[in-house]
Chains A and B, each alone.
Chain A
Amino acid sequence: DGGITQSPKYLFRKEGQNVTLSCEQNLNHDAMYWYRQDPGQGLRLIYYSQIVNDFQKGDIAEGYSVSREKKESFPLTVTSAQKNPTAFYLCASSVSEGYTFGSGTRLTVV
């Protein structure tokens, strides 16, 4: 079955460490996205990529970095510069207006 896989589902890291969240899709979608979800804030766009080897900042890109070396993969690195990294992170891919979301990674920084 085609879909998006995010791993791990739960991630714990110490403050000051970088951490990379994985997102893989086998839907052959060109566009991929990373969202951050906080209680009462909805989903906010971190980064998006419309094609391999290209990506753009979203609304809250500070403290995050991404790469898009393969069509199937769009990993997100949460750097130590991100002031409040504890959140639920969702990856998505799309073709036109049809989006597919992963099941998310809950990151807790202690």
Chain B
Amino acid sequence: GNSVTQMEGPVTLSEEAFLTINCTYTATGYPSLFWYVQYPGEGLQLLLKATKADDKGSNKGFEATYRKETTSFHLEKGSVQVSDSAVYFCALIRPGAGSYQLTFGKGTKLSVIP
């Protein structure tokens, strides 16, 4: 079946530090890959996505590249801010039989300190 594994947190960084959150996946075929962000007490928001190999998704200074050879979709940001403190979820969709179900990783909590 489909699965997503992401690095366990929590991750604590100082403001302006470089961020990497690792994500690897297991799926047959060619899934679409996503990063969602959840701010405290809220639902999830789409951060970025990539739908085919070598695609790079980017948004708000965050980037992730779809690497089929390593089945990875690592999230990076060059300089984090306190406002980036949130829980980040890696996820995939493997369309099949008309269904677009999301499979999530367990989430990584990021805390950025001034």
Binding site for B on A (CB under 8 A): 4, 6, 31, 33, 40-43, 45, 48, 50, 90, 92, 94, 96-97, 99, 101-104
Contacts and interface: CB of A to CB of B under 8 A. Distances in A.
Nearest to A42: B106
B62 to A, nearest CB: 18
| Count class of interface residues, chain B | 20 to 34
B44 interface: yes
Contacts of B106: 40-42
Contacts, number: 47
Interface in B85-114: 89, 93, 95, 98-102, 104-107
B42 interface: yes
Interface of B: 32, 41-46, 49, 51, 89, 93, 95, 98-102, 104-107
A31 B107 CA distance: 24
Given A41-B106, A42-B106, A48 B101 contact: yes
A50 B51 CA distance: 22
A6 to B, nearest CB: 8
A104 B43 contact: yes
